[in-house]
Structure 1
Amino acid sequence: MTTQLDFNTMREIFARFHAREPEPRGELEHVNAYTLLVAVALSAQATDKGVNRATKALFEIADTPAKMLALGEEGLIEHIRTIGLYRNKARNVIKLSRILEEQYGGEVPSSRAALQALPGVGRKTANVVLNMWFRQPAQAVDTHIFRVGNRTGIAPGRNVDVVERAVEDNVPAEFQLHAHHWLILHGRYTCTARAPRCSLCLINDLCTFEEKTA
């Protein structure tokens, strides 16, 4: 298993990420906390681009829990039919919208426990919402972060929970807020799964990956 990088190396890595892109942003389109929550919930086993295509028209007519409930499950399905597992996701979106409307006055709670209690909302989804909307240093570990964390030595771990703790424990505090976005974007566009673009990598000289590509 890859060895965790030392603190000075970690600081240099994230200083480089920060210098290149000081305010990285997620790629799921949204207009408020509710639409962000829905978009992230819909993105499970789907691409951000695919979700954005489906939600563009949806969020123009249903950007609050009340409007989503008025649209109804079948109306929602018509908008998200191109997304994988759309029926189950539509069911969960309607259920969570009803809970938000009845228990939270239509607002999205800023508590991880409250978010995870919503249908179809797991820890990763909750962490994305907490980070992107409420600006909490929550680390949402997806397949990109899991791969980059283990391949580079930034956050090695046998499962997503261990990798999440490694990011929280080892990334310098001043970089915690944007850490997961830097790592996701790095994994999505540079440190890709099948053919990592090592020759273009910003942290090539600091990474522990032994099979670097030319």
Structure 2
Amino acid sequence: MVRELDETVATVLDALDRAGRTADTLVVFTSDNGGLSTAEGAPTSNLPLRAGKGYLYEGGIRVPLLVRWPGVVAAGTTCDVPVTTADIAATLLDAGGVLLPPGVALDGTSLRPLLDGSGPIAARDLVWHYPHYSNQGGRPAAALIAGDGAAPGRDKLVEHFEDGRLELFDLAADPGEMHDLAAARPGRVAELQARLVAWRKTVGAKLPEENPRPVAPFSPEAVSVR
């Protein structure tokens, strides 16, 4: 996988070099979701992270984010501040000096201060809302990674819509999400769930509901072939 990354990204970077556009081009490498995990394990396993594409555990939502921006991002630097792909649009607009029309808002935040080292970005909760079933096996759920506390990005709440089950994980100590702390920290669970509910109300996010016109189970015997 690393070799494939090196070879394919090198194709893009070499093309920029030949065109003489390397110095004024911002290159971003990322993914829209975690890798597809299967019951067979390797080579598609996301270990040590849990699950994969279609799930709200870290294996499904934690992805690589590599940025090359000559003259702005120092080569070899790293950043451990949690961000989302919604921040990329805001970052690119900021990089290009593009101003939004009045009344237009973005879901994300420009990451330029993190990239150029000029300062932090405002602390915020990161939220995922997935109110449907996934063909990869994921079930309807939501997740919130808290942006407050002594270590922003450490506490993560997962809410399962089918049965209302709530899980709490300490991502710093348990990135594999193997130890549910909900029973040991009920106050934190209630606090983060309230913030998740408030976010849903703010954006008008819909919850799954029972189909008023359920589809009858498929019966092969009822199919006639002519």
For the criterion TM > 0.5, the same-fold answer is: no
Structure having the larger proportion of residues in helix: 1
Larger radius of gyration: 2
TM-score tier after normalising by the smaller chain length? under 0.3
Structure with the greater relative contact order (CA < 8 A, sep ≥ 6): 1 or 2? 1
